[in-house]
Chain A
Amino acid sequence: AQSVTQPDIHITVSEGASLELRCNYSYGATPYLFWYVQSPGQGLQLLLKYFSGDTLVQGIKGFEAEFKRSQSSFNLRKPSVHWSDAAEYFCAVVPSDNTGKLIFGQGTTLQVKP
């Protein structure tokens, strides 16, 4: 079945530490890949996206993500986390045969310790 999986429901890191949030997808063809962030009580904001080309993509707020076709993964990384990064992060795909609707993973809640 087609799906997007974020294995970690909740992650806690110390401020200044590095961060990696995992995302795996299961689709026949490589979909279009996105990461969104949702702050409490807010809508979603696009961090970055991958359609094709360079498999390492840079986004806003110092985030980057790497597409690995062999692992069907699109993990989000940040070298040094700030307290303001505490939020919920969603990986999403638009399947390559689709109208543009986003299929979301379950989300990962990031907590940042001072």
Chain B
Amino acid sequence: NAGVMQNPRHLVRRRGQEARLRCSPMKGHSHVYWYRQLPEEGLKFMVYLQKENIIDESGMPKERFSAEFPKEGPSILRIQQVVRGDSAAYFCASSLQGDLDEQYFGPGTRLTVT
């Protein structure tokens, strides 16, 4: 059973471009969380999705950021018009049942904005 997969592992974008980060949860998991880790900081919750639904997006910046988890395919975190401050590691985690069920983390996508 493959773990949580994220791609790309490293992504370089120029200011103003779009970044698309993908997360494939563990098989059978329908709950996905996205977290952001800024340099020298802990992880910060961004958004919690269940298949086709956004459950909690209280950690998402109000502009330029969006997330989806379609019925088929991976979850996507999209950042439009990236700025240098978006440079960070973005982790997704999946769980089987949500709530207090264990979250399994992917290896992360390291986004660098030049």
Contacts and interface: CB of A to CB of B under 8 A. Distances in A.
Interface of A: 32, 36, 41-46, 49, 51, 90, 94, 99-107
Interface residues of B, number: 26
Contacts of B95: 100
Given A100-B99, A101-B33, A106-B41, A45 B105 contact: yes
Interface in B68-114: 91, 93, 95, 98-103, 105-108
Interface of B: 4, 31, 33, 35, 41-45, 48, 55-56, 59, 91, 93, 95, 98-103, 105-108
A105 B102 CA distance: 18
B107 A42 contact: yes
A90 B108 contact: no
B102 A46 contact: yes
